[in-house]
Amino acid sequence: MQQKIAIEMKGITKTFGALKANDNVNLTVEKGEVHALLGENGAGKSTLMNMLSGIYTPDSGTIAISGEQVAFTSPKDSIRKGIGMIHQHFKLVDVMTAKENIIIGQPAEFFLQGKALSKKVKALSDQYGLDIDPDKKVYDMSVGEKQTLEIIKVLFRGAEILILDEPTAVLTPQEIRKLFRVIRNMKEQGCAVVIITHKLNEVMEISDRVTVLRKGQSVETVVTKDVGVSSLIEMMVGKKVELSIQKKTFEERKPLLELDEVTVKNSEGKDALSNVSFTLRGHEILGVAGVANSGQKELCECIAGLARADKGRIYFEGGNIVDKTPRDIIKLGIRMGFIPEDRLGMGLVGSMDIVHNMILKDYQNQPGIALRRGPCVAQARKIVKELDIQTPSIYTPVKRLSGGNIQKVLLGREIDSAPKVLITAYAVRGLDIGASYKIYDLLNEQKAKGVGVLFVGEDLDVLMDLCDRILVLCHGEVTGIVDPSKVTKEDIGLLMTGQRQESGDGNKFPGEGGEA
Amino acid sequence: MNLIRISKRDDLPKKKEIVIRILAILLSILFSGVIIMMFGLNPAEIFRSIIEGAVGTPTRIRQTILTAVPLTITSLGIIVAFKMKFWNIGAEGQITMGALGATVIALFLPESVPAPLKLLLMLLASMLFGGVWAFIPAIFKAKMGTNETIFTLMLNYIAIKFVTYLQYGPWKDPNSGGFPRIAYYPDNALLPSLFGVHIGWIIAIICVAFVYLFINYTKKGYEITVVGESLETARYAGMNISQIIVTAMFISGGMCGVVGMIQAAGIEKTLVAPIANNYGFTAIITAWLSRLNAVACLFVCIAFAMLTQGGAYIQIALGVPSAVASVVQGTVLFFVLGSEFFLQYRVSLARRAAQAKKEVA
């Protein structure tokens, strides 16, 4: 009789130094099943999967594949057992073709059997409904194509168990739909698919069962169709969370910041932003959507004066600020909180405490040459209290705080300066659900105070819930400014891939009525 | 496979830190003792002699202070640069140029200028020359992103060779009987003494206070620290990074330049090519040992000077080979610097072959 269980992990424990990344975790995945692994950042999802793919070895516990006990010491062992992991960051060689990437690291014959290989790749893609051109170079591929290639790569190696680590983070809604179709095909062919994610709607859509991890422990495994989103959140967070973003619309929305045909070149002399024009008003949150690296960073930096606009004008309260220094722009009341991937790199100094990080943007306004800490101590106390930052003291180096608290320190500092324009980029990057909603609340408070908020985000659902308008960037160009209440996610997805708003009268799109 | 696991420590209790440090010093004494015994010498006697040689008589104490002064000031200069993660290994050159600046004033200003004024001008000139010598790599780094390590290192040789050229060529003293040296400073250009030691020690103490206050209590010092910790953060905070780099390096080089003036006017009484006497490199070690803390630096440099003087003493007094002194010095450094590793990382035996190369993914 055929073995029905694909993966059985029992009592897995893994510690890193003082941190228990996995604590007695159990996971069972059946063949022909899509199993979602759900949990907040740091819950131990990736650690668990890295042990399954042989990158880490568990401290204790057992792993059985198709009923057979295994002890992986390297990724090679797990590949041999038919396990394929598709990482968040693709591991492809840019200058090679799809075909060449597929056979890298494979025991190959001396001569490459080009045609035979193409045929085999073709057969595989047909089997699972994947679209790929075997002779296309990787650098010519879109993110979606690269991911397809990664999938074919592991299938080619005979994988029957697929692990996808946050596969949708970089995709447009259309690409996500395509990916889900492929996953369903694989499931029908009897593969076991594990998908790591923290997006609940995707869990509901694609998975058969869900295992929820929290703080390194497996909380529960449930059948997806028997649970609701709210109970999943409760399992993830460990308590009930009020999850709603209140969107209030304000009548008086006077223009604050106006970009007029702004072009910014990157270090290679190419346009990172081209001819971007929009108006940011008071009492509004303007979202910025786009695939990663579509010019979001340059947009933030040119407003803050950190990158030079090669062309165009930026008006703030009527004056052109293109030639002003970052310092002057801060003084005008334009504040930016940019959360980079490592969270600390821009805006906070990890080894310094909260007080010294408060000083960072204000010390320049102090008279004389001496550094005055007094006011910043008070300010640090205030934001720790108001934003409920979990820290042993205000003199703890910020890098010791958890991600959410670090971000609160950063945003707290910018907000506390009573800015007129607040630019936030990836404000909730890596945050858990509870903390994310606290940040949204903070931004809404700012909006209520009359601040113009520019919110660069990744999650379209959030953008649509939070923002009054959404500006879509594609390759540095604005492909549309839309009212989220009048468009669908798919519409935005199309704009993200470069389709322009099809309306005849320039900037007008459903909902984009009274543009100044 | 990996029997030993190394992971980064996040926080270490103060107590444990002190224990590790004391252990390092004890181990270094033990090990150098064993090595001394292998030479057929009595370790207890050697250690006693080292201390005796460093602080045994007033003269020896004076000698130790004379070594500690240039070391301290140079270390302080280096600390300012290192705080910014600007790897200034050009202190040798900056010291040499500082001495050159002082010499210009000392030799070419009329003798009639009163001593205090002349000394003050020499001090300023040495700061200027040393500062400019550090300013050159700084401006290139700030504007073009050149590598400061190689740049500052190379400038050392240029400075030293240039002084050598002056010594053998245009500045050669006609009254030296053909010997290639630069004329001695007139008396009003020599550093006066206080308590039997030239006033360089006062300058050193002032410098300690200055660097401590500068780094911890001024805006510029704060900027330097931020730039050192994270360039991107500094940029996002609207700091003028180029200007900060250049200013900090000018201060760093200026302090090293002062060392040149002290050595020329206090010790050599003239300018010689090897005026820097390796202080520029030794100070890198002492700067690190003091963990870039100005006050700690003073004590580290005194300890280091004691070790140097004591080492020199045992060579002469006991007739042991100079290698013994070097071995003791080297062993102490090895253990003290090595203990840094244990302060920052936790080493444990792995129960199973666990690959802990990465932190939690």
For residue B6, what is the nearest residue in chain A, using CA coordinates? A17
Name chain A contacts of B346, Cβ cutoff 8 Å. 17
Does A272 fall in a domain?
yes
Partner A contacted by B237 (CB < 8 A): yes
**A340 falls within a domain:** no
Please check whether residue A244 lies inside any domain of the structure: no
- What pLDDT is stored for residue A242 in this prediction? 62
Listed by number, the residues of chain A in 332-361 with a beta carbon closer than 8 Å to a beta carbon of chain B are 336, 338, 340, 344-352, 356, 359-361
Same domain, A177 and A268: no
The number of domains in chain A is 3
**DSSP characters over B218-280:** BHHHHHHHHHHH-HHHHHHTT--HHHHHHHHHHHHHHHHHHHHHHIIIIIISS--GGGGTTHH
Nearest to A50 among B236, B351, B361 (CB): B361
Digit-coded pLDDT (tens) for A15-45 = 876 667 888 888 888 888 999 988 876 678 8
Instruction: Print burial letters for A199-209: b (CB count within 10 Å at least 16), e (below 16).
Output: bbebbbebbbb
**Cβ-Cβ contacts under 8 Å, B359 against chain A:** 16-17
Q: Is A224 exposed, middle or buried (0-12, 13-18, 19+ CB in 10 A)?
A: middle
- Quote the minimal CA–CA distance from A512 to chain B in Å: 33
Residues A393 and A443 grouped into a single domain: no
Q: What is the dihedral of CA A496, A499, A500, A504, to 10 degrees?
A: -150
Q: A391 versus B201: which is more confidently predicted?
A: B201
Does residue A426 belong to the interface with chain B, where contact is any CB pair within 8 Å?
Answer: no
Lowest mean pLDDT among A115-129, A268-282, B144-158: A115-129
Please indicate if any CB of chain A lies within 8 Å of the CB of B348. Answer: no
Nearest to A16 among B7, B237, B351 (CB): B7
**A339 is a domain residue:** no
pLDDT digits (tens, 9 = 90+) for B230-254: 888 888 888 888 889 999 999 999 9
Whether A346 and B359 lie within 8 Å, measured CB to CB: no
A93 and A205 share a domain?
yes
DSSP state, residue A458:
S
In a domain, A243, yes or no: no
In a domain, A504, yes or no: yes
Shared domain for A121 and A65, answered yes or no, is yes
Q: Compute the distance between CA of residue A301 and CA of residue B131 in angstroms, rounded to an integer.
A: 34
Chosen domain end from A392, A417, A442: A417
The residue-averaged pLDDT of A86-98 equals 82
Residue A25's closest CA among A196, A217, A214? A217
In a domain, A246, yes or no: no
A354 with A315, same domain? no
Where do we find the tokens 């760093």?
B252
Residues A424 and A391 in one domain: no
Together in a domain, A34 and A154: yes
User: How far, in Å, are A98, A131, A155, A182 from residue A128 at the CA level?
Assistant: 17, 9, 10, 6
Question: CA B196 to CA B214: how far, in whole Å?
Answer: 30
- What residues of chain B lie within 8 A of the CB of A327, using their CB? 238-240
Rounded to an integer, what distance in angstroms lies between the CA atom of residue A117 and that of residue A121? 6
Percent of chain A at pLDDT exceeding 90: 3
A482, A410: one domain: no
Q: How far apart are CA A326 and CA A423, in angstroms?
A: 14
Residue B219 near chain A (CB below 8 Å): yes
Q: What is the pLDDT along chain B (361 residues), one digit of tens a residue?
A: 445 556 666 666 778 888 888 888 889 888 888 888 887 888 888 888 888 888 888 889 998 999 999 999 999 999 999 999 889 899 999 999 999 999 999 888 887 888 888 889 999 999 999 999 999 999 998 888 888 899 999 999 999 999 999 988 888 888 877 788 888 888 888 888 888 788 889 999 999 999 999 998 888 899 999 998 888 888 888 888 888 999 999 999 999 999 999 999 988 888 888 888 889 899 998 898 888 889 999 999 998 898 888 888 888 888 787 777 788 888 888 888 888 788 777 776 654 433 433 333 3
Backbone angles phi, psi at A488, to 5 degrees: -105, 170
The residue to which tokens 């909180």 are assigned: A337
Longest distance between any two alpha carbons in chain B, whole Å: 80
* Interior/surface letters B220-246, b for 16+ CB within 10 angstroms, e for the rest: bbbbbbbbbbbbebbbbbbbbeeebbb
Contact flag A360-B226 (C-beta cutoff 8 Å): yes
- Asked if A29 and A112 sit in the same domain, the reply is yes
Last residue within a domain, chosen from A417, A439, A458 = A417
Give the range of the structural domain holding residue A229, as residue numbers without chain letter: 5-237
- The string of DSSP codes covering A411-455 is HHHHHHT--SEEEEESTTTT--HHHHHHHHHHHHHHHHTT-EEEE
| Angle of helix B58-83 versus helix B294-318 axis, rounded to 10 | 140
Instruction: Name residue, tokens 């960073």.
Output: A297
Measuring CA to CA, which residue among A495, A142, A513, A516 is closest to residue A287? A495
Residue B238 has its nearest CB partner, among A325, A340, A350, at A325
Q: Which residues does A368 contact at the CB level (< 8 Å), separation at least 6? A: none
Q: Are residues A483 and A473 in the same domain?
A: yes
Split at pLDDT 50, 70, 90, the class of A433 is: confident
Q: Are A374 and A352 in contact (CB under 8 A)?
A: no
Residue type (1 letter), A295: G
pTM of the entire predicted model: 0.73
Helices (H), chain B: 14-38, 43-55, 58-83, 91-108, 115-144, 148-168, 200-217, 219-229, 231-236, 241-262, 279-289, 294-318, 322-344
Chain A touched by B176 (CB under 8 Å): no
From B220's Cα to the closest Cα of chain A, the distance in A is 7
Tell whether the torsion through CA atoms of A333, B218, B89 and B338 is positive or negative.
negative
Model pLDDT, residue A510? 44
| Sign of the four-CA dihedral B76, B77, B78, B80 | positive
Tokens linked to A168: 């949708």
Q: What is the dihedral of CA B198, B201, B206, B208, to 10 degrees?
A: 160
- The answer on A110 and A155 residing in a single domain is yes
Q: Which residue on chain A is closest to B349 by alpha carbon?
A: A17
- Residue A284: strand pairing partners: A452
CA distance B361 to chain A (A): 6
- CA gyration radius, chain A: 25
Residue A47 to residue B361, Cβ atoms within 8 A:
yes
A278 within a domain of the structure (yes/no): yes
Positive/negative CA dihedral, B155, B157, B158, B159: positive
Half-sphere exposure of A180 (CA within 13 A, CB side): 17
Helix axes B279-289, B58-83, angle to 10 degrees: 70
Residues of B in contact with A350 (CB under 8 A): 229-230
Identify the pLDDT of residue A514.
40
How far, in Å, CA of A347 to CA of A424, rounded? Answer: 11
With contacts defined as CB-CB under 8 Å, which chain B residues touch A360? Answer: 226, 233, 237
Residues A180 and A294 in one domain: no
Chain A: nearest CA to B309, how far in angstroms?
38
Q: Among the three residues A417, A433, A467, which one is the final residue of a domain in this structure?
A: A417
Backbone angles phi, psi at A454, to 5 degrees: -105, 115
Q: Is B217 on the interface with A (CB under 8 A)?
A: yes
Count CB-CB contacts under 10 A for residue A2: 6
Q: Do A327 and B354 touch (CB under 8 A)?
A: no
Least CA distance to B1: which residue of chain A? Answer: A73
Chain centroid, CA B128 distance in Å: 19
Interhelix angle A433-448/A229-237, nearest 10 degrees: 100
pLDDT digits over A290-336, tens only? Answer: 887 788 888 888 888 888 888 888 888 878 888 888 888 888 888 77
B227, closest residue in chain A (CA to CA): A349
Please tell me the predicted confidence (pLDDT) of residue B78.
94
Residue B221 C-alpha from the chain's centroid: 20
Instruction: List phi, psi (to 5°) of A9.
Output: -110, 130
- CATH code for the domain of A467: 3.40.50.300
